[in-house]
């Protein structure tokens, strides 16, 4: 499989870009891989890159976006931070990816059994991690279905918070980046979410 060029990237609609991610995840779950010559892709991307999507995911070692979506060199921008939280640096990266580099999709990708979500649920405080986990607090407050055992020991509670967190981060992208909001409004990009299941490898998309 060849790398994306300026022509192939520009010809993609946001919907087609999302479909490419879905097809890639289906290959991953089926233990299949697109036929790629990675060394050839190194050579083909040495003078430029034309990724079709930017994916914000957690630093969890099981959530490599390139593997989960069966993508090669130059196909996607991968931004990773514990708890897949949004901050100014992440927003700047997304704006660069879409406005400057031509990406068609912003995907906020959470995952099941997330350690950052568990830490936030347990009110963990430790150095700079304290500030990071505070960004997940709104997702905890939004979860009102769970009355008792609102801790990391409650798997259902943790998963509800993780899903809330993805949706809230999607909204933060729209609210805090005028550039990305306007690009989505005129159909140049799509801002979507997803949840990766660490037990099955499957991604459920929130569109």
In a domain, 207, yes or no: no
- Residue 107's φ and ψ, nearest 5 degrees, are -115, 120
In a domain, 78, yes or no: yes
Residue 111 annotated as lining a ligand binding site: yes
In a domain, 23, yes or no: yes
Strand partners of residue 79:
56
Residue 1: its pLDDT value, please? Answer: 66
Calpha distance 36→62 (Å, rounded) = 22
Residue 121 annotated as lining a ligand binding site: no
User: CATH code at 184?
Assistant: 3.40.1050.10
Axis crossing angle, helix 155-176 with helix 178-185, rounded to the nearest 10: 90
Of 166, 126, 164, nearest to 145 by C-alpha is: 164
* For residue 2, pLDDT beyond 70: yes
pLDDT digit string (tens) for 29-61?
999 988 887 788 888 788 889 999 999 999 999
In a domain, 98, yes or no: yes
Residue 128 annotated as lining a ligand binding site: no
Residue-by-residue DSSP string for 89-152: HHHHHHHIIIIIT---EEEEEEETT-HHHHHHHTT---TTHHHHHHTTHHHHHH--S--S--ST
**In whole angstroms, how large is the CA radius of gyration of the chain?**
17
Of 132, 136, 197, 131, nearest to 164 by C-alpha is: 136
pLDDT digit string (tens) for 82-140?
999 999 999 999 999 999 999 999 999 999 999 999 999 999 999 999 999 999 999 99
Residue 114 annotated as lining a ligand binding site: yes
Q: What is the pTM of this model?
A: 0.95
In a domain, 48, yes or no: yes
Count of domains observed in the chain: 1
Its domain, for residue 190, covers 6-201
In a domain, 206, yes or no: no
């Amino acid at each position: 499989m060849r790398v994306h060029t300026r022509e192939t990237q520009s010809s993609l609609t946001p919907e087609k870009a999302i479909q490419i991610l879905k097809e890639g995840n289906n290959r991953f779950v089926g233990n299949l891989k697109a036929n790629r010559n990675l060394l050839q892709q190194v050579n083909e991307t040495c003078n430029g890159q034309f990724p079709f999507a930017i994916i914000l995911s957690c630093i969890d070692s099981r959530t490599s976006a390139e593997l989960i979506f069966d993508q090669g060199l130059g196909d996607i921008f991968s931004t990773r931070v514990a708890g897949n939280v949004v901050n100014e640096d992440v927003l700047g990266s997304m704006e660069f990816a879409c406005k400057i580099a031509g990406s068609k999709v912003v995907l906020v990708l959470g995952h099941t059994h997330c350690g950052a979500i568990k830490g936030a649920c347990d009110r963990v405080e430790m150095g700079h991690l304290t500030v990071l986990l505070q960004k997940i607090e709104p997702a905890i407050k939004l979860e009102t279905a769970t009355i008792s055992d609102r801790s990391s020991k409650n798997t259902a509670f943790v998963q509800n918070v993780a899903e809330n967190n993805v949706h809230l981060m999607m909204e933060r992208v729209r609210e805090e980046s005028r550039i990305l909001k306007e690009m989505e409004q005129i159909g140049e990009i799509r801002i979507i979410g997803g949840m990766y299941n660490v037990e099955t490898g499957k991604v459920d998309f929130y569109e």
